[in-house]
Structure 1
C-alpha cells in the first residue's frame, strides 16, 4: 500500500489599500531561510485545530497587525503546484483583504509597497508575486460588477473620492461627468447623506455612503487596456 504524502497547509493574505494615491499591498520582509531578505505576503502555517477563516484572522493580527481594523476579507484562490515551496509540498489558501487608507505598521518587517513595484520585482519569496497578481485582478474585476469600491472609501465619501479609487485600482483616468452619471444611476450603490463637504477644495460636494446593493446594475465596465503602476 502506498504511503500518504505529507502536505503542509498555509494561509497567505493579499491586503490592498490606497495610500498616497497609489494601490498598495502589505508585505512582510523574511528574516530567515528560505528567501531571507526578500518580501512576501503576510501568512503562515495553520494549526491542526484551526479553521481557515480563523487562521486568516490570526495572521491579520500576528503578521499584518490589523486585528482591530474593519476590513473586507474574502477567500481568493488555492495554490498547490509541487515546487512552490523549496522546503516541502505546501498548499496555500489565500485571502484578499480590502480597506481604505490602512495605517502603517509599527513592525519593522511589515511595510506597504505599491503593487506596480511589487509585480515588477522578480526577487520575491515563493510564488507570492503570482498570488499578488491574482489578488489585484480580483479587486479590479470586482469593481466592475460589485459595490466593493466603497470598501476603499471612508464611511462617507464624495463621488470624486470614489472615482479616484476606480482610477487608482484600474490605473486609468475616467471622465468625471460620465462616472458621476454611472455611479449615481447604479441601483442601490450610493445613498445621499444629505450633507456636503469642501475637503476636496472648491464648491461643496455631496456626501454619500455605501448602499445595500452588492451587485451593480448596470455594471461599471473598465477600459479594455490597463497597466499596473
Structure 2
C-alpha cells in the first residue's frame, strides 16, 4: 500500500458537517436563532443548528435541509461563510464544519418546529456562550454580513414585502450596530430606482404616516448598483 493510499484512508475518518447561522430582525435589533443542545458532548448548552452531511448530499442541499428542519422555510437566502477545521474543535472527533448564514423573516417561520428544537432568538449584542467554536462562527458571519450589506441588497430578506424608509433605516442601524444619518440615508435611497414607492401608507407611527416601498429584484438585476 502506498503512503498516499494510506493517507486517503485516514482522511476518510474526518467527518463533514454544516452549521447554519440564522439571522432575524425584531424590535430594531438583529437576532440569532440558537437551539439548546440535546446530547453530549456539552448537552444543555446553546448551539447553532447543524448536521453531518449525508452520503451523496451536496453542501448547499444539506444547509437547506437543516434550515427547513428547524424553521419549516424553503427557498431562503443563504450563503456559505467559512470552513472551520481545527482538528480539536469538536471533542467527539475530527469534524470539519462548513458554516452558512441565512436571513429569515420571523413572521413566516414555523413556531411548532422552533419549539420542537428548544430554540430561541437572541440579540446579537447579548449572545450566550455556545458550544465548541460556535461563537467564533457567529462573529465571522456578523463581520461578513456587515461588509456585504453596504454593497449588496441582501438585508431586504429580513423585511416584509412592503416596508417604510424608517423601517429600512432601523434595519441597517441594527445590522451595522451604529446610527445612520437620516438625511444621507434618504439621499442614497432616492437614487435607487429599484426601491419602488407605493401609494399606501403606514399610519401606525404618526398622523402623517410613512409611505411603503418595495424592493424590485428584477429592476435591481438590470442596474446592479447598490451602495448604502
Q: TM-score per shorter chain, which class? A: 0.7 to 0.9
Q: Is the 8 A contact 2:169 2:180 kept in 1?
A: yes
Hey, what does 1:219 align to over in structure 2? 227
Equivalent in 6, 9, 14 of residue 7 of structure 1: 14
- Cross-structure match for 2:45: 38
The match for 1:134 is 140
Q: Call closer, same or farther: CA 1:143–1:202 in 2, change over 3 Å.
A: farther
**Residue in structure 2 matched with residue 224 of structure 1 by the alignment:** none
Name the TM-score, length of structure 1 as normaliser.
0.85
1:53 matches 2:64: no
Question: Structure 1 residues 163, 30: CA separation in 2 closer, same or farther (over 3 Å shift)?
Answer: same
1:201 aligns with 2:206: yes
Equivalent position SS for 1:71? coil
| 5+ residue gaps, structure 1 | 221-229
Residue correspondences, number: 214
1-structure distance, mates of 2:119, 2:226: 39
User: RMSD in angstroms over aligned alpha carbons?
Assistant: 2.0
C-alpha distance in structure 2 between counterparts of 1:110 and 1:21, whole Å: 21
User: Does residue 160 of structure 1 match 2:166?
Assistant: yes
Conserved in 2, the CA contact under 8 Å of 1:16 and 1:23? yes
Report the CA distance between 1:128 and its aligned residue: 0.4
Instruction: State the partner residue of 2:23.
Output: 16
Q: Cα distance, 1:52 vs. partner?
A: 1.3
Q: Distance in 2 between matches of 1:70 and 1:112?
A: 21
The normalised TM-score by structure 2 is 0.86
**Structure 2 gap segments, 5+ residues each:** none
> Counterpart of 2:72?
67
Kept in 1: contact 2:68–2:74 (CA 8 A): no
- Matches of 1:196 and 1:137, distance apart in 2: 34
Query: Contact 2:81 / 2:101 at 8 angstroms: preserved in 1?
Result: yes
1:145 aligns with 2:151: yes
Larger-Rg structure: 2
